[in-house]
A and B are shown apart, each in its own frame.
Chain A
């Protein structure tokens, strides 16, 4: 119990920090940073769009690490880590797509387009979704964990290849799009914009790890309950 209490304590600190950074980030993004020369205020969504997609990819990396560890050591907690990272990852990926759409409507006039980035994010979402469906459709828990771990590893190995293929598809023989929403932000950019981006990035990371820690705690509690239901061997 002491261990759980300690975790809850550190979780709260994480949550509090996340809140502080989110508020700071909002302030910088909406007030301090100047509007973009070309796109105006709608560009401000990039302050959360970029961090959220990066966090989504970080999530997948954690799924990969958890999966590898689980296949190697077969310890439940690695499986819980992978599963939790996948769930929170789905959230952030879906968020990214919604943000992208919100940006897209005033900018391109459409809610959706098959440009490289949106397409890639949608694919990532599908892989996450498949991972979670697989877990819920296999009865035997140990098999489900092993199968999901394999999918996590294969999926992670595939992501660079998916990236390359989708980018080439969209750029080779395709005229470059006039508006490049996420050109590297450190080229000739107002310093306040960089600060806003950095703070929001930190905010998202903190928020992500806070949610992840919550989900892991739920997972560990579930695991304890299951073990108690199983009962002692006697």
Chain B
């Protein structure tokens, strides 16, 4: 299981570097919180409408923060040609992909663990018992975001105007994820009948599986020089 071992070592490296460089997590957290406040002012969310608008606003905030994280994702590899060092090593390049996806996922999951309850409080959403289901949708959606996002972050590594190009490429392709997550959350928050949201759940899982597989297969070509 060399593949798994390499993935875990690379993940260890990224986590260690994040702890020391503080590049991603703090920025994402503050930006996310800031966005939630701004939404409140800009949109004047009424309490009755909060449950309807909440998932959409939450996801907007997460997508913005996530894109910030994606920009930084390969930063350690850009310095000192470390990417070449990884390419030289006898590892399956899909391990690099998987480790970055997992790293990004962990950052965003941490973000969501903090932001979701904060969101609940700021928007005065009721029914705390629904939070775990909402979190499940959030997590599955985040997996989709991380998988396609990591792929495109690597793809655009050498492109000019990367800050614009990455979201431009990424967001249309993430529409199924965005729609499925938001609609699923809406259904849960509104009626609470879980089975009604099942088609969206299946779509999410399908998306995650298809693009995780596709990502691992094509990453080899994405990352070579």
Which residues on A sit within 8 Å (CB–CB) of B176? 158, 161-162, 164-165
A148 to chain B, nearest CB (A): 9
Specify which chain B residues have a CB less than 8 angstroms from the CB of A123 in the assembled complex. 172, 175
A151 at interface (Cβ–Cβ under 8 A)?
yes
Q: How far is the CA of A165 from the CA of B222 in the complex (A)?
A: 28
Known: A130-B169, A137-B165, A155-B173. A161 touches B159 (CB 8 A): no
A5 in contact (CB, < 8 A): no
**A134 contact set on B, CB distance < 8 A:** 155-156, 159, 165, 169
Q: Name B207's contact: one of A129, A146, A161, A166 (CB within 8 Å).
A: A161
- CB 8 Å contact bits of A54-94 with B (1 = contact, 0 = none): 00000000000000000100000000000000000000000
Docked CA distance A104–B112 (Å): 41
B218 and A139 form a contact (CB under 8 A): no
> Which applies to chain B's interface (DSSP): helix, strand, loop or mixed?
helix
Which residues of chain A from 117 to 165 have any CB-CB distance to chain B below 8 Å in the complex? 123, 126-127, 129-131, 133-134, 137-140, 143, 146-147, 149-151, 153-155, 157-158, 161-162, 164-165
Nearest residue, chain B, Cβ from A122: B172
User: B161 at the A/B interface (Cβ < 8 Å)?
Assistant: yes
Q: Which residues of A contact B200 (CB under 8 A)?
A: 168
Min CB distance B108 to A, Å, is: 20
- Among A137, A146, A149, which residue has its beta carbon within 8 angstroms of that of B161? A137
Chain A residues with CB under 8 A of B180: 165
Residues of B within 8 Å of A, CB-based: how many? 33
| Contact call B211/A154, Cβ cutoff below 8 A | yes
Q: Which B residues, 187 to 225, have Cβ-Cβ distances below 8 Å to chain A?
A: 199-200, 203, 206-207, 210-211, 214, 218, 221-222, 224-225
Q: Which residues of A contact B151 (CB under 8 A)?
A: 150, 154
Which residues of B lie under 8 Å from residue A153 when comparing CB positions? Answer: 214, 218
Residue among B148, B156, B160, B169 making CB contact with A139, cutoff 8 Å: B160
B155 to chain A, nearest CB (A): 5
The smallest beta-carbon distance between B164 and chain A, in angstroms, is: 8
* Known contacts A137-B159, A165-B180; A71/B221 CB under 8 A: yes
User: B151, B155, B172, B211: which has the most chain A beta carbons within 10 Å?
Assistant: B172
Complex CA gap A134/B165 in Å reads: 7
Asked whether, in the complex, the Cβ of A166 is within 8 Å of the Cβ of B175, the reply is yes
A169 within 8 Å of B by Cβ?
yes
Q: What 0/1 readout, one digit per residue, does chain A (105-127) give for beta carbons within 8 Å of chain B?
A: 00000000000000000010011
A166 touching B173, Cβ below 8 Å? no
- Cβ of B80 within 8 Å of any chain A Cβ, yes or no, is no
Given A146-B221, A168-B200, A169-B179, CB of A139 within 8 Å of CB of B158:
yes
Whether B173 and A154, one on each chain, are in contact in the complex, defined by CB atoms closer than 8 angstroms, is yes
Distance in angstroms between the alpha carbons of A139 and B161 in the assembled complex:
12
Contact of A143 among B158, B168, B172, B218 (CB under 8 A): B158
Chain A residues lying within 8 Å of B156, measured Cβ to Cβ, are 134, 137-138, 147
The reply to whether B222 and A140 form a contact with Cβ atoms under 8 Å apart is no
Residues of B within 8 Å of A131, CB to CB, are 169
- CB neighbours (8 Å) of A149 from chain B are 221
Known: A146-B221, A147-B159, A151-B155. 15 other contacts (CB 8 A): A131-B169, A134-B156, A134-B169, A137-B165, A138-B156, A138-B160, A151-B169, A154-B151, A154-B173, A154-B214, A157-B211, A158-B173, A161-B210, A165-B180, A168-B200
Top 9 A-B pairs ranked by shortest CB distance? A165-B176, A130-B169, A161-B176, A165-B179, A126-B172, A137-B159, A147-B155, A138-B159, A137-B160
Interface residues of B (CB under 8 A from A): 148, 151-152, 155-156, 158-162, 165, 168-169, 172-173, 175-176, 179-180, 183, 199-200, 203, 206-207, 210-211, 214, 218, 221-222, 224-225
Q: What are some 6 contacts across the A-B interface (CB < 8 A)? A: A133-B168, A134-B169, A147-B159, A150-B151, A165-B175, A165-B176
